Structure 1
Amino acid sequence: MTPRRRPSWCCRATRAGTASARPVCRRRSGNPSPSTATSPITCTSASRWRSPRRRSGVSSACSRPRSGRAPAGARPSCSRTTGADVPLVASPVGWGVIGATSQVAQKAVLPAIVASPGARLVAVASESAEDGGSGCFGPLRAHRAYEAVLDDPEVEAVYVPLPNSLHREWVVRAAAAGKHVLCEKPLAPTAADGEAMASACERAGVALCEAYMTPFHPRAAALDTLVVSGRLGALRFARAAFTGVLDRRDDHRWRPEMGGGALLDVGIYCLAPLLAAAGRTPARVEASATLAKSGVDVSFAGWLDFGDGFTATIECSFDAPERQFLEIVGTEAAVVVDRAYTPGPADTTIALRWRDGRVEEIVAGGADPYREMLEHFQTVVRAAAAPRRSCAASITLLGVLERLRAAAGLAA
């Protein structure tokens, strides 16, 4: 069989490199492997979570969308856009969700799918009949078996918010079923897993994006522009912290075999803007970790030397008061961002402190970054648009996370 020709924006795995309030569905603990039964799902009320907000999503497409192109001359039926790079969507993308009981799915991504005129929620799968949220998010097909979502011909794209250790298996299976994939961050526990996932999607001719949503907020875009412009001068120091309390001990993030730990869960938020600011990976890293009884890192601290006088520190924790900040210091100015990683519509400002003592406030627009991320992915699917962040960038970040874990003495 002749392989499909890859478009010019295709990424290769070997390359270097808020919605209205809705009821949320309570997750029951248990084995994340699905059973084979299929049944209706009912919605319950509030969640008992108290943890760092899981806000994830830069996209990284790996290959040409397989289907869903509008015919020539077709008039789009959707009138909303999210920016100059997001054209009108001719027909809604049919969505499926496997692992629909995750907190980020219930509180952020599922509401974004329902709110987007370019999306149609078709099916969800969860590990128990009572979960998944069909009553919360309108009529849809609800299953216990993940395979049922992949077998659904009306599902064009799947969102995968499963535990990290299951990302590779279900992304590869989704690609084999011809589905485009939006995979929760981190893309995978290791760079090797990420490369395998990217290769599988490339071979299948489907798009793969990492659901790391922060860069889709206007404030993050303004920060990127500020750093790249050189207004800060030569970069000297940076500090990034994301801490909070995860008090549900039955959560998979407390289990090392499920790819748990503070660094894998929230480390991407701290590390991604540092790599973007430096424009390269660190030449040297050091790290230390505090372990829970289960063996996962409950707290993690890392130091990164990017060379040319630029060093950075990161702090991640499941067992500390909530803190989210990013500080980047140059020879001319320092930029400070509060609630840097889970911004919402009201988070619009950046503080710029100049070396002469002046403080400048930069005001950017507000938005729901999950919806912006989702609609960008739908454009990647429908129009073969280039993603804002490549798979290669996601895999490069995974490599740095592995180096930090090794420096702290954590098992691969």
Structure 2
Amino acid sequence: MNVAVCGLGSQVAQVGVIPALRRSRWTQFLGGTTRSRATAEHVLTGAERHYRDYDAILSDPDVEAVYLPLPNDLHLDFIAAAVLAHKHVLCEKPLLLSDDQYDRLERIVASSTTRVSEAFMSSYHPRLREVIATCSSGEFGEVLSVSTAFTGTLAPLDGYRLNARRGGGSLYDVGIYALFPIVALLGADPREISVVTKVTPTTPPVDLTMHCLMEFDDGRAATFVTSFVSGESQSLRILTQQASIAVDRTCTPTPLDVDWTLTTSAGVTIRRSLGCDPYQAMIDEVFEAFTQGREPSWNLSRSRQVAQLLHRINRTWREDRAQP
């Protein structure tokens, strides 16, 4: 499938996605857009095309799909334009910023044969899949709690990530990584949500750091922390009736991140899963599915399930701060 990228200057495009598009047997990377000729010369090679703008991509009959590494508030309009031009879409997370936007997108794709998928590469890594499958199987009893973290110091900290109206803040930027294991193991409908935030002095504020506690039925609970302004942490901790599981570097795993720790009454065991480049796994699965006319594993339904909880958490802390 011939793929073009709208935004060649994106770091994730340059480091992860474009190399995977070049390697995959399911894709041919045609080229992309950037306002910078220097960027185009740096990224593109050989006969790869430098499109003047997004309309040029959409009007190219050779392009069958687009990858969109754009600021969060631009996603819906660019996705809609691609779908109307009969191009499949892989778009960076967070896919959309509200339930209303998901409603609009679902109406658009309902009358089309094109597919849309969120570029959530962690969900394709074999270790995370194995850990979730193991805990979901009941092998070690019911899952009682899940704790996740994705924190670090973002530099430079500027642009849309500091603009609430453009989908800024740590929750929208990296919250999907923290929420996915929670939703997979405990569900997307906690009974109570409590949030503590460190925010910018702007109006409206943007969450620089967020701590969240979610209470589920039957005494189960989940916690997570996301941050732009803290030490590095990428962790997943799961407590079941008979075991505890610890996984590190869960959000941006590499092919070398294969180990996870299982602790039971019998002792501590280091288990080993398969490793892979998660960007490559994502590109291969998504575009194999697109080519075959079916949905990839991370489809709109799964994306929306996590997003609805993310939107609810965002409303919770904003409403709490607005109270006198």
**TM-score (norm. length: structure 2):** 0.93
CA RMSD of aligned residues (A): 1.8
The aligned residue for residue 90 of structure 1 is none
| 1:267 partner amino acid | G
2:64 to 153, 156, 166: 156
The aligned residue for residue 234 of structure 2 is 324
| 1:305 partner amino acid | E
Question: 1:2-13 residue pairs with structure 2 within 5 A?
Answer: none
CA distance in 2, matches of 1:311, 1:399: 18
CA distance in 2, matches of 1:173, 1:324: 35
User: Residues 168-212 of structure 1, C-alpha deviation per residue, up to 9 Å, x if partnerless?
Assistant: 000000001110000111111112212322331232210111110
Distance 1:127 1:221, change over 3 A: same
1:395 to 292, 300, 304: 304
CA distance in 1, matches of 2:89, 2:41: 21
Whether the aligned pair in 2 keeps the contact of 1:178 and 1:206 (CA below 8 Å) is yes
CA distance in 2, matches of 1:352, 1:248: 37
User: Residues 56-80 of structure 1, C-alpha deviation per residue, up to 9 Å, x if partnerless?
Assistant: xxxxxxxxxxxxxxxxxxxxxxxxx
Shift of the alpha carbon at 1:283?
2.1
CA distance in 2, matches of 1:175, 1:386: 15
Whether the aligned pair in 1 keeps the contact of 2:33 and 2:53 (CA below 8 Å) is yes
Instruction: For residue 206 of structure 1, give the secondary structure of its aligned residue in structure 2.
Output: coil
Distance 1:108 1:138, change over 3 A: farther
Q: Answer with 358-367 or 143-152: which moved more.
A: 143-152
CA distance in 1, matches of 2:145, 2:123: 21
Instruction: For residue 37 of structure 2, give the secondary structure of its aligned residue in structure 1.
Output: coil
Q: Answer with 261-270 or 220-229: which moved more.
A: 220-229
Distance 1:350 1:137, change over 3 A: farther
CA distance in 1, matches of 2:230, 2:216: 28
The aligned residue for residue 216 of structure 2 is 306
2:166 to 258, 269, 273: 258
Whether the aligned pair in 1 keeps the contact of 2:115 and 2:295 (CA below 8 Å) is no
User: Residues 333-361 of structure 1, C-alpha deviation per residue, up to 9 Å, x if partnerless?
Assistant: 0111000111110000110111x251111
Shift of the alpha carbon at 1:376?
0.8
1:286 to 170, 174, 194: 194
Q: Answer with 210-219 or 291-300: which moved more.
A: 291-300
Is residue 382 of structure 1 aligned with residue 282 of structure 2? Answer: no
Instruction: For residue 308 of structure 1, give the secondary structure of its aligned residue in structure 2.
Output: helix
| 1:338 partner amino acid | D
Whether the aligned pair in 1 keeps the contact of 2:26 and 2:284 (CA below 8 Å) is yes
**Which sections of structure 1, spanning at least 5 residues, go unmatched?**
1-92
Structure with the higher helix share, 1 or 2: 2
Shift of the alpha carbon at 1:251?
3.3
Whether the aligned pair in 1 keeps the contact of 2:31 and 2:44 (CA below 8 Å) is no
| Greater relative contact order (Cα < 8 A, sep 6+) | 1
2:97 to 184, 189, 204: 189
| 1:111 partner amino acid | P
| 1:398 partner amino acid | A
CA distance in 2, matches of 1:137, 1:314: 42
Q: Percent identity?
A: 33
CA distance in 1, matches of 2:294, 2:41: 31
CA distance in 1, matches of 2:46, 2:191: 50
The aligned residue for residue 131 of structure 2 is 223
Whether the aligned pair in 2 keeps the contact of 1:280 and 1:306 (CA below 8 Å) is no
Instruction: For residue 218 of structure 2, give the secondary structure of its aligned residue in structure 1.
Output: coil
Structure with the higher strand share, 1 or 2: 2
1:336 to 240, 246, 251: 246
CA distance in 1, matches of 2:48, 2:78: 21
Whether the aligned pair in 2 keeps the contact of 1:346 and 1:366 (CA below 8 Å) is yes
Distance 1:193 1:309, change over 3 A: same
Distance 1:184 1:379, change over 3 A: same
Instruction: For residue 38 of structure 2, give the secondary structure of its aligned residue in structure 1.
Output: coil
| 1:317 partner amino acid | S
Whether the aligned pair in 1 keeps the contact of 2:120 and 2:298 (CA below 8 Å) is no
Shift of the alpha carbon at 1:143?
2.7
Tell me how many residue pairs correspond in the alignment. 319
Whether the aligned pair in 1 keeps the contact of 2:92 and 2:119 (CA below 8 Å) is yes
User: Residues 13-58 of structure 1, C-alpha deviation per residue, up to 9 Å, x if partnerless?
Assistant: xxxxxxxxxxxxxxxxxxxxxxxxxxxxxxxxxxxxxxxxxxxxxx
Q: Answer with 324-333 or 302-311: which moved more.
A: 302-311
Instruction: For residue 212 of structure 2, give the secondary structure of its aligned residue in structure 1.
Output: strand
CA distance in 2, matches of 1:375, 1:137: 21
Is residue 101 of structure 1 aligned with residue 9 of structure 2? Answer: yes
CA distance in 2, matches of 1:142, 1:203: 31
1:119 to 8, 27, 31: 27
Shift of the alpha carbon at 1:136?
4.7
Whether the aligned pair in 1 keeps the contact of 2:188 and 2:306 (CA below 8 Å) is no
